[in-house]
Amino acid sequence: MIQTKGYVASNNGVLIQGLKFTEPCPERGYDFNDPTGNFMCVVPTPKECFNLCQNMGCTEWNHMNLIPSGSEEIKRYHRCRCFPEYNMCFYNYVPKIHRNFD
């Protein structure tokens, strides 16, 4: 994902202005955003992220995630992204500028 000031690139390279991540919302399935492949609510654990990704068809855990896919360690500010073109699941920190909560 390419990030520039206030923009986030979608899977097809289109820039989307003002994309913000919210607090966890499991009751809404973490609000999957199809154009970007992001779950727009932060996902608290890598294990939950990987389960969400697998349900979307992303069955590979990216080696750059730096945390095991089965970990249940709570990460308050991490997002989950399924990139179906590469069958890849990403789990990484969301900077404050890209979320609507502290």
Whole-prediction pTM = 0.84
CB 29 within 8 A of CB 20: no
pLDDT at 18 over 50: yes
Kindly state the average pLDDT of the residues 16-38: 92
Tokens at residue 57, please? 């068809």
Eight-state DSSP code of residue 53: H
Q: In what order do the strands lie in the sheet with 3-4?
A: 3-4, 7-9, 15-17
Task: Show me where the domains of the chain are located.
Answer: 21-98
User: pLDDT tens digits, residue range 29-76?
Assistant: 999 999 889 999 999 999 999 999 999 999 999 999 999 999 999 999
List b or e across 67-77, with b for residues whose CB sees 16 or more CB atoms inside 10 angstroms.
bebebeeebeb
CA Rg, the chain, in Å? 12
pLDDT at 1 over 60: no
pLDDT at 4: 44
pLDDT at 2: 46
pLDDT at 82 over 90: yes
Pairwise CA distance, residues 14 & 33, whole Å: 14
